[in-house]
Amino acid sequence: MTSTAAVGGFSELVRAALRRRRIVFWTPVLMGLVVVLGIGALWPSLSWLPRLGIELPAATVLAVFLVALACEYVDSSLGMGYGTALTPILLMSGFELRDVVPCVLLSEFVTGLTAGLMHQRDGNMDVVRDPRARGAMLLLASLSGLAAIFAACVAVNINKFYLLAAIGLIITSMGIVILATLRRQLRYRAGHLIAVGAVAAFNKGLSGGGYGPLVTAGQVVSGMSPRQAVGITSLAESITCLVGLITYFQLSNHINWQLAAPLAAGALFSVPFATLTVRRMPERWTRAAVGVVTLILGLLTLGKLLMPGLPGA
């Protein structure tokens, strides 16, 4: 027993050293990239973006990169917020919906898969040895894939007003339930995830957002650990995004790589920092943060009903 504990302690020291090395490596790389993009924005003649085939102004690329970085940091830390916040931001900035949704799906496929693997590596979840976590991930992924296909096929016919109202009410209700049960340990119920996963994936395929608040909060309400819920959401969402992206590509054969590149790059750079945030945040704080952000996003989603022309979250 003592020998096993010693081996476990040594392994944890090694993992801690690797996590510190990760921060030491990624921080200067991220800062350097921001500086280079900033120089290109201030002095366009020095920009290297045209050589990569990116025709967007360097200032626009920098803004998209930073917004994606911030939104994905929140998403990978709390399991929600990337597409929900990023989609309307990009639309209000002048990008077209037909460009935004596939690009958001592509970037979230890449970052969701990366975040899921890093959550697993950092010990926030364990879908390999924990049958409950693995079952929840497989259930959400399979259900989400089917719903994402259906959503992409009927996106042009759905009444978005009623979908937005339903999503907003569900998200808001889940935020209230999480905050009201902060001191209670809920028993895990896989059945609760079925309806939540289907609705969330449908909304994801329709608008590029709204998946995380429903699925993360749904898992917590169903009794899953908040840390595991965040990691499982990242992994399941990546599969949902891949299915939705393939369906969109089959239907339209179009993706705006000018937008997709800075979105994916900005989102990816946030992942190493976000998964460590989840690991170091106390469990109760994580649950409270998930509850607060879920409630805010639900209220914002309902608020969009008062803003004609703005797509659902």
Is residue 311 in a domain? Answer: no
- Name the pTM for this structure: 0.72
Is residue 7 in a domain? Answer: yes
Is residue 231 in a domain? Answer: yes
The residue ranking higher by pLDDT, 252 or 7, is 252
pLDDT of 156 > 60? The answer is no
> What is the tally of structural domains in the chain?
1
Is residue 180 in a domain? Answer: yes
Give the model confidence (pLDDT) of 242-267 as tens digits.
887 887 777 777 788 888 889 999 98
Q: 48 is in which domain, residue-wise?
A: 2-306
**Arithmetic mean of pLDDT over the chain:** 75
- Tell me the two tokens of residue 174: 């889940």
Average pLDDT over residues 179-194: 68
Is residue 312 in a domain? Answer: no
Distance of CA 66 to CAs 34, 211, 218, 313, Å? 8, 22, 29, 20
Contact assessment for residue 258 and residue 56, using Cβ atoms and an 8 Å cutoff: yes
pLDDT of 35 > 50? The answer is yes
The three-point CA angle 189-313-76 to 5° equals 60
Is residue 49 in a domain? Answer: yes
Contact assessment for residue 241 and residue 263, using Cβ atoms and an 8 Å cutoff: no
Give the model confidence (pLDDT) of 45-98 as tens digits.
777 776 666 777 888 888 999 999 988 888 777 776 677 678 777 877 778 777
Is residue 166 in a domain? Answer: yes
In this prediction, residue 310 carries a pLDDT of 45
Is residue 14 in a domain? Answer: yes
Closest CA to 163 of 151, 146, 149, 181: 151
- Residue that has been written with the tokens 């750079």 in this structure: 269
In whole angstroms, what is the distance from residue 139 CA to residue 190 CA?
8
